[in-house]
Amino acid sequence: MHYYNRLPWGRHSKPGALLMNHYFQNALTAGLLRTLAIMPYGLVARMGETLGKLLYKLPSRRKRILHTNLELCFPEQSAKQRQALAQSTFGHVIRSYLERGTQWYGSAKQIEQLVQLESAIELQDNYDQPTIFLGFHFAAIEATCMYYSIMHPVASIYTPMSDDVTDAISLSQRARFGTEMISRHGSAREILKVLKSGKPIMLAADMDFGLRDSVFVPFFGIQACTLTSVSRLARLSGARVVPFVGEVLPGYKGYKLKIFEALDNFPSGDARADALHMNQFLEARIRLAPDQYYWVHRRFKRRPEGEPSVY
């Protein structure tokens, strides 16, 4: 069997043409992001918000997911209040995509000037105790993670993207300040080795990654498929779990990286209780800035046995 017959395009396709198309798509995407990186941050942010408002007016799958999530999680709000929240959320989401230009191609100095730091723990290059930095999918997560990688050595667990071009760009650019990128599909042994070396690991565990290593626990009162791997890694490595949140500052002033004290009694020895602990912490943070959370993800994709799909 020829090698190209085993590639995704199959036996009857033209691999040379597809490779050329992939090359041009990569060049176009990278070129756009580089252009955004040299534009003033405030202008890019305003462009993103304006584009978000325009796209919100159009029917889309993401818009339907967003409204479903808000109806489930904020039943106390009126339809008018949820619509205003949805519009603001869409603006933050689209804006965050455009701001990837600066985050992925801007200089270290540019990123440092945009991020304010507020930390409840002392930050250093190596930690005596293994440390897991637990992040969440707020609009500023990318910027604040990039900022930390400039300041201190860190490893990051990432989920490969469905689009190969964007995935390749994100992987290389997220690692450009020395971050050690580890696929979520990699081995736990590799992650434990990094933790025990003193280098911290950043990860996010607030999405539905499937039933494996997960339990159903409440999130805004809705049973949500929640990972137990964070508490398992903490138990196996003796790591403390330190939550952090990226905030978008008002007035186009950039972002704030807020690092909190380590979660108390975590891991507790009860995986379900630990998963609930994570969700409760996240819920409290979301309520302070609900429009900055990525509600466009299908957080309730999988349902407990016997429950119908919500999407």
Note the pLDDT of residue 162: 83
Provide the residue range defining the domain that includes 244: 14-292
8 found inside a domain: no
Model confidence band, residue 11 (pLDDT cutoffs 50, 70, 90):
very low
* pTM of the predicted model as reported, rounded to 2 decimal places: 0.91
Over residues 141-146, the mean pLDDT reads 98
Distance CA 228, CA 278 (A): 10
Of 70-79, 122-131, 163-172, 229-238, minimum mean pLDDT range: 163-172
Residue 81, pLDDT > 70, answer yes
Residue 10, pLDDT > 60, answer no
Over residues 94-113, the mean pLDDT reads 97
4 found inside a domain: no
Note the pLDDT of residue 142: 97
Any idea which residue has 């069997």 for tokens? Answer: 1
Any idea which residue has 């999407």 for tokens? Answer: 311
146 found inside a domain: yes
State what percent of residues in the chain have pLDDT above 90: 86
35 found inside a domain: yes
109 found inside a domain: yes
Question: Considering its fold, how many domains does the chain have in total?
Answer: 1
Note the pLDDT of residue 285: 98
108 found inside a domain: yes
Judging by DSSP bridges, how do beta strands 201-204 and 131-135 pair with one another? Answer: parallel
Note the pLDDT of residue 22: 63
Residue 108, pLDDT > 80, answer yes
User: Would you say 65 and 296 are in contact if contact means Cβ atoms under 8 Å apart?
Assistant: yes
297 found inside a domain: no
User: Would you say 195 and 258 are in contact if contact means Cβ atoms under 8 Å apart?
Assistant: no
Residue 147, pLDDT > 80, answer yes
Phi-psi region of 232 (alpha: psi -120 to 50; beta: other; left: phi over 0): alpha
Over residues 212-238, the mean pLDDT reads 97
Of 7-11, 131-135, 219-223, minimum mean pLDDT range: 7-11
Residue 17, pLDDT > 70, answer no
Note the pLDDT of residue 19: 58
Note the pLDDT of residue 14: 52
Model confidence band, residue 286 (pLDDT cutoffs 50, 70, 90):
very high
Note the pLDDT of residue 154: 98
pLDDT in tens, 245-281: 999 999 999 999 999 999 999 999 999 999 999 999 9
Residue 4, pLDDT > 50, answer no
36 found inside a domain: yes
Over residues 113-142, the mean pLDDT reads 97
